[in-house]
Amino acid sequence: MNSMTTRLELEAAIKQLPESEIRQLAEWLQAYLDEIWDRQIEADLAAGKLDRLIAQAEAEITNNSLK
C-alpha cells in the first residue's frame, strides 16, 4: 500500500478548501518555489555554470559605459 499522496489526491483536497486557505497555500507554494530557485542558482553559481554569462554581462556593461 502506497502512503504517498498523489497529485490528483492533492488537487481534489485543495478543491475542498475555502478560498482563503487556497490563497494561503498558493502563497506558501510560491515561496517554496522561490526557495528552490534560489538554491539552484546558488548551486549553479558555485559550480561555475554562470561564469560565462557573468563575464558576458560585465563585458556588455563595460562596452556600454565606454560609449
Q: Output the pLDDT for position 67.
A: 64
Could you tell me the pTM of the whole model?
Answer: 0.68
* Three cell numbers, residue 27: 502563497
Q: Output the pLDDT for position 49.
A: 93
The answer for residues whose C-beta is within 8 angstroms of residue 5's C-beta and 6 or more apart is: 13
Task: In whole angstroms, give the CA distance from residue 14 to residue 21.
Answer: 9
Q: Output the pLDDT for position 2.
A: 56
Q: Output the pLDDT for position 8.
A: 92
* Three cell numbers, residue 63: 562596452
Q: Output the pLDDT for position 1.
A: 45
Give per-residue pLDDT as tens, 1-60: 455 789 999 999 999 999 999 999 999 999 999 999 999 999 999 999 999 999 999 999
